[in-house]
Structure 1
Amino acid sequence: MKLLRFGPAGQEKPGVLDTQGRVRDLSAVVSDIAGSVLLPEGLARLRGLELDDLPLVEGVPQQDLRLGPCVGQVGKCICIGLNYADHAAESGMPVPPEPVVFNKWTSALCGPDDVVQIPRGSLKTDWEVELAVVIGQGGRYISENEAMNHVAGYCVMNDVSERDFQLNRSGTWDKGKGCDTFGPLGPWLVTADEVPDPHNLSLWLEVDGQRMQDGNTATMVYKVPFLIGYLSQFMSLQPGDVISTGTPPGVGMGHKPPVFLRAGQTMRLSVQGLGQQLQKVLQA
């Protein structure tokens, strides 16, 4: 299934993409794509629906029908840094002996095609296409062998980052990761049964039509089962939590000389089988 949320910002309704690429309204079935809906029994209930019997939503998704973040009421958005060896190299940093973990504030999450704002005072706003994992069944101290049973599905994340805030403003990376609009998520949550191998997905990002990133999740240092088990040592994972798994090389900071986003530019990005995002960049 491809689950989504449609409508104006802050007023999104739950939906599902039918076999014709049209949006069907799930409002009479569930209140949101969130929480217990993402548990195995919640997803099984949705799989049992006859999509053609659900109300058809007017408009073409991502054209004249806005999509919001594909998961609602996200409790935690946990990000993994330097998880591709070649990206670590372009950043001038060693591959970490354990995953680098940081937060993206949930107020940063936005729709896949919403405007991305360059923060006031920013000179180094950057892009990062990533595979995001959405937790279904929660838990603590999850074994690596059981970890994939805790995945509801996958989606595209643009981990937009302000490098000066991140690296030069003292403290943790979080200052440069959680600005408003820095977390386009979606267009849809593709349930895990439709993604047989999350470790063999191409992912890419373009700025104004120029291919900047072109990688594959096969080169991740720490794979999804390990990350889930690792993170669950330090926090309980809960339904709807998002784990963004890192980015391949080609970020602006890694270019020589570095290049960063400017107002008026457009980003387009995708992870294989999970849809595309398109964002206009504006000055806050």
Structure 2
Amino acid sequence: MQTTRTPHHPWQPQGTVYGILLNFRREWDLWGPRMTQDPHKAAPNAPVLYVKTANTFSPADQDLLLQDGVTEVDIGATLGLIMGDDGQVAAAVLMNDWSVPHTSYYRPPVKFRCRDRFLALPQQATAAQVADWAMLQITVRLNGDVVQTVQLSELMRGIPTLLADVGEFMTLQAGDVLMVGTDCLADGTRPRAKAGDWVEISAPGFSSVSVKVGGAA
């Protein structure tokens, strides 16, 4: 894989960033018994999307400031697929899709996911073929210790299937970014960070995402 160099300005999305819920087998299995309950009454048969608004974009080397009484944040290591002019995936990036800990991943409230700087970005994007990412392993470190390993082989919808299924009901434009989802730990939670912590997300061939978490100024 070849990293696309941007020496003067850190990479930022040029379009809309979409996230996907319940796209890892472990979380799907944990949620399975509740999928038939109200208000949904059945498992989703299409990808469940949400939007990370532009205020969440946090370029490389920016800290995450916890505000409004938030003391912890969930770490959301993921891969973002960057769409090209031809409607195909042109490149990809690692991302940290932060969220305030909450109990519902079916319809997460905007206030938990769309706070300022709640999408940590890498320095550069990486150009490669979709097939190169199918077996990617993403490592999450908290203060230097490995706290999670995300295997893209565990996706409910692999990258080609995810793109095809999303394309059934919407068109991704050039510059849009489709995140493949975030995995949970064995107990259904995600690794959490608090003020003073250092979080790093890395994978072979990709520009890493490193963020210091700080309290409100």
TM-score by length of 2: 0.82
CA distance in 2, matches of 1:270, 1:173: 28
Matches within 5 A, 1:272-283: 272-283=204-215
Kept in 2, the 8 Å contact 1:213–1:248? The answer is no
2:112 is the counterpart of 1:176: yes
Deviations 1:157-206 (A, max 9, x none): 11111124x749xx64432111111111223211124x642111011111
Quote the residue 2:159 is aligned against. Answer: 224
CA drift of 1:251 comes to: 9.0
Please tell me the residue identity of whatever aligns with 1:85: R
Q: Mind listing any 5+ residue stretches in structure 1 that lack a counterpart?
A: 13-67, 140-149
Question: Residue 95 of structure 2: which of 157, 166, 181 is its match?
Answer: 157
The structure-2 alpha-carbon separation of the partners of 1:249 and 1:130, relative to structure 1 and needing over 3 Å to count, comes to same
CA drift of 1:122 comes to: 1.6
1 or 2, which has the higher helix percentage? 1
Deviations 1:213-264 (A, max 9, x none): 1121111111112222222333321111011111233399617xxx732111
2:194 is the counterpart of 1:262: yes
CA distance in 2, matches of 1:206, 1:200: 20
Quote the residue 2:128 is aligned against. Answer: 192
Quote the residue 1:50 is aligned against. Answer: none
Kept in 2, the 8 Å contact 1:126–1:161? The answer is yes
Please tell me the residue identity of whatever aligns with 2:198: T
Question: Residue 75 of structure 2: which of 120, 127, 141 is its match?
Answer: 127
CA drift of 1:6 comes to: 4.8
The structure-2 alpha-carbon separation of the partners of 1:138 and 1:81, relative to structure 1 and needing over 3 Å to count, comes to farther
Kept in 2, the 8 Å contact 1:127–1:252? The answer is no
Let me know the Cα RMSD of the aligned residues: 2.6
Quote the residue 2:49 is aligned against. Answer: 101
The structure-2 alpha-carbon separation of the partners of 1:76 and 1:128, relative to structure 1 and needing over 3 Å to count, comes to same
Kept in 2, the 8 Å contact 1:269–1:277? The answer is yes
SS of residue in 2 equivalent to 1:225: helix
Rg larger for? 1
Please tell me the residue identity of whatever aligns with 1:185: L
Kept in 2, the 8 Å contact 1:131–1:271? The answer is no
SS of residue in 2 equivalent to 1:228: helix
SS of residue in 2 equivalent to 1:2: strand
The structure-2 alpha-carbon separation of the partners of 1:251 and 1:102, relative to structure 1 and needing over 3 Å to count, comes to farther
2:23 is the counterpart of 1:83: yes
Q: Which has the higher contact order (CA 8 A, sep 6+)?
A: 2
Kept in 2, the 8 Å contact 1:126–1:252? The answer is no
Q: Mind listing any 5+ residue stretches in structure 2 that lack a counterpart?
A: 33-42
SS of residue in 2 equivalent to 1:163: coil
Number of matched pairs: 204
CA drift of 1:84 comes to: 0.8
Quote the residue 2:175 is aligned against. Answer: 240
The structure-2 alpha-carbon separation of the partners of 1:225 and 1:115, relative to structure 1 and needing over 3 Å to count, comes to same
1 or 2, which has the higher strand percentage? 2
Please tell me the residue identity of whatever aligns with 2:161: F
